[in-house]
Amino acid sequence: MLNINEILETNEMINRQHLDIRTVTMGISLRDCAGEDAVRVAGKIYDKVTKKAENLVKIGGEIEREFGIPIVNKRVSVTPISLVAESCDTEDYTIFAEALDRAAHEIGVNFVGGFTALVHKGFTVGDTRLIRSIPRALAETERVCASVNVATTRAGINMDAVRLMGEIIKESAELTAATGGFACAKLVVFANAVEDNPFMAGAFHGVGEPECVINVGVSGPGVVKVALEAAKGQPFDVVADTIKKTAFRVTRMGQLVAREASLRLGVPFGIVDLSLAPTPAAGDSVADILEEMGLTSVGAHGTTAALALLNDAVKKGGVMASSHVGGLSGAFIPVSEDAGMIRAVQSGVLTIEKLEAMTCVCSVGLDMIAVPGDTPASTLSAIIADEAAIGVVNNKTTAVRVIPAPGRVVGDIVDLGGLLGTAPVMPVSGGGSADFIARGGRIPAPLHSLRN
Amino acid sequence: MRAIVTVVGRDRVGIIAEVSALLSRSGVNILDITQTVLQDYFTMAMLVDTSGCPKPFAELADELDARASEMGVSIRIQREDIFDAMHKI
C-alpha cells in the first residue's frame, strides 16, 4: 500500500534536511604488500588499492541514483602504513603516501586514510619512521590522511608520543603555511582509536579486519533538528524518544545502502557508523540540534548535558536498525565543519574549555579547531594529553585535530575549503605546559583497565 | 525491480496522462497510484515495476528528469526499498 505521506517525508528529509549517506568507505588490507624494496612496496600498494576499489565510485553513483539518496563521499582506508612499510629499506615513508595519493586520484575517491601508527605503548622502528614522515607526506599529497593512536584505556598514555605529536603538528602546519596549515586538517591524534571507523581523517583498516570490507557512515543532523522542532517545550523524555526514532530511520537507510554496496562490490559488509556528522551547509549542524533543545547558543551552560542526551539517544535509536554498528557512532563536533559551532565561537560563547568538556560525552574530541600560529608545540601536546586522559579514563575514543595556523592570531579565519569548512582561530590557555610535556614516559593505565 | 515515482508540481490538466504515457513507452508497469493536491501543488506517488523496462535504471531516471523540466514539475524515481527501510520494521 502506498503511503504518500511517508514517501513525501522521506524525500523532504533528503531534499531539504540534508539527509545523506556521509561516506561509503572501503577498508583494504595492505598486509600482503610488505617487502624490503620501498619502490616495489609502493607499487604494490598502488596496484592493490586501484584494483580493489576500482568500481567503488561507479557503484556508489549507481546506488545514489537508484535510491535517490546522495552518497557524499566514497573513500578508502588501508592497513596502518607503519606496519606495511616496516620491513622497507627507507627512512622516509612519503613514497607510500604518494602511492596512496596516486591511487586515490585514479579511482576518484576524495580521501584515503591509513598513514597511521599505533603507538599507545611505545614505538617500533616503522612507527617512528612513519610519524617523522607525516609532515612531508601530508604536505606533498592531497588526499592522504594520517592518524596516530597515542593512548588506550588498557595501555595508558604514551607521553613520548604525545610530545612528539605536538612537534609533528607544528611542523605539518609550517610546511603548509600558505594554506593556513591545511596538512593538520588531515592529521588526527587518537586515544582508543577504532579499527573500523569510516570517517576521515581518522579512518584506517585495523589489523583485526578482513581482507576487504565496506563500512558506511550515515548522517542527518538536519533531520534530527527538524524532528525536534515538533517537540518544542516538551520534557527531555520526549526529546530523547524523538531523537531515537529519527536515528533509527536514518540508520536503516545506512544499513540498506551498506548491504547494497557490499553485494554489488562483492565485498563483505563491516559496520554502519551511527555518527551525526555536520557539514558547513546551513541546516546541517549539530550545534543547531543542541540549540533547538533550548540553549540560546551552543557553549552556554547546559550544552554538555544536551550533547550527552543527543549522543546516547542516537546510539539507542540506531543500534536496532543495523545488524552491525561500529566505528565512532555518536555525535561529531568539528568546529570548522559546523556553521552553528563557528557562530558560537565567533560570538565568544563557545570556548576551547567548553569544547573539551563536551568531548567527555560525545564520540570524538577536539576536532577541526584552529589555534594561533605561535602556539608552542608543548601546548599542543598538552591539549592532546588532556583529551587522551578523557578518552582513557572514560573508556571512549577521543581525538585531537588541531590546526596551529601559521601567522594567524585569535579572531582570524582559516579557510580549509569544501567539507572541511572555515575555522575561526580560538585562544588557548595562557599558561605553559613545557615542563609537564618534557617529562615523557607513560601515564599508567587506570585501575578500571584491569577487567579480566 | 519495484520503484516509487513521485511527481510534484503546480496542478494542471494531463499530468498523470503524460507521466503514464512515458512510463508505458518504457515498458514500466504501474501497480498502484495515489495522489493529492496540497496547497495547489499536485502530488502523486506511483508504485511501479521496472522489470519489463529494457533500459538501465539511470537512463529511465534521466528521461523522467528531462520530461519533468519540460512539464515544469519534478519527477523522481527511487527504489521502493528506501521507503520500506525508513518506515517499516
Sign of CA dihedral B11, B16, B21, B27: positive
Cα–Cα dist A252/A274, whole Å: 10
Name the grid cell of B72.
Answer: 515544469
Cα–Cα dist B52/A177, whole Å: 58
Cα–Cα dist B6/A452, whole Å: 56
CB A395 within 8 A of CB A154: no
Rounded to 5°, angle at Cα A45 from A40 and A46: 100
| Closest Cα in chain B to A59 | B58
Touching check for A75 and chain B: CB below 8 Å? no
- How much is the CA Rg of chain B, to the nearest whole Å? 13
Is a pLDDT exceeding 80 seen at residue A1? no
Nearest Cα neighbor of A161 from A189, A183, A201 is: A189
Range of the domain at A100: 25-191
Cα–Cα dist A138/A371, whole Å: 19
- CB distance A4–B58 less than 8 Å? no
- CB distance B83–A66 less than 8 Å? no
pLDDT band at A231 (very low <50, low <70, confident <90, very high): very high
User: Is A59 a member of any domain?
Assistant: yes
Q: Which of B32, B76, B86 sits opposite A253 (nearest CB)?
A: B86
- CB distance A252–B86 less than 8 Å? yes
Chain A contact set for B55 (CB, 8 A) = none
pLDDT band at A24 (very low <50, low <70, confident <90, very high): very high
Contacts of B41 (CB under 8 A, 6+ apart): B8, B9, B10, B11
For residue A104, the domain's CATH number is 3.20.70.20
CA distance B73 to chain A (A): 15
User: Is A312 a member of any domain?
Assistant: no
- CB distance A68–B78 less than 8 Å? yes
A256 phi and psi angles, rounded to 5 deg: -60, -45
- CB distance B82–A68 less than 8 Å? yes
Cα–Cα dist A337/A280, whole Å: 5
- CB distance B86–A2 less than 8 Å? no
Q: Where are the domains of chain B?
A: 2-87
CB A195 within 8 A of CB A208: yes
Chain A contact set for B53 (CB, 8 A) = none
**CATH superfamily assigned to domain B2-87:** ACT domain (3.30.70.260)
Touching check for A10 and chain B: CB below 8 Å? yes
- The pLDDT tens digits for B20-67 are 999 999 999 999 999 988 878 889 999 999 999 999 999 999 999 999
User: Is A415 a member of any domain?
Assistant: no
Nearest Cα neighbor of A304 from A244, A239, A246, A350 is: A350
CA distance B77 to chain A (A): 7
- CB distance A253–B33 less than 8 Å? no
User: Is A239 a member of any domain?
Assistant: no
Q: Which of B43, B77, B82 sits opposite A4 (nearest CB)?
A: B43
Beta bridge partners of A187: A146
- The pLDDT tens digits for A142-169 are 999 999 999 999 999 999 999 999 999 9
Percent of chain A with pLDDT over 70: 100
Chain B contact set for A249 (CB, 8 A) = 86-87
Query: Could you tell me whether strands A366-372 and A398-405 are parallel, antiparallel, or unpaired per DSSP bridges?
Result: parallel
Contacts of B79 (CB under 8 A, 6+ apart): A66, A67, B1, B2, B3, B4
User: Is A358 a member of any domain?
Assistant: no
CB A313 within 8 A of CB A327: no
pLDDT band at A189 (very low <50, low <70, confident <90, very high): very high
Name the grid cell of B6.
Answer: 513521485
Query: Could you tell me whether strands A212-218 and B29-38 are parallel, antiparallel, or unpaired per DSSP bridges?
Result: unpaired
How many separate domains does chain A show?
Answer: 1
User: Is A218 a member of any domain?
Assistant: no
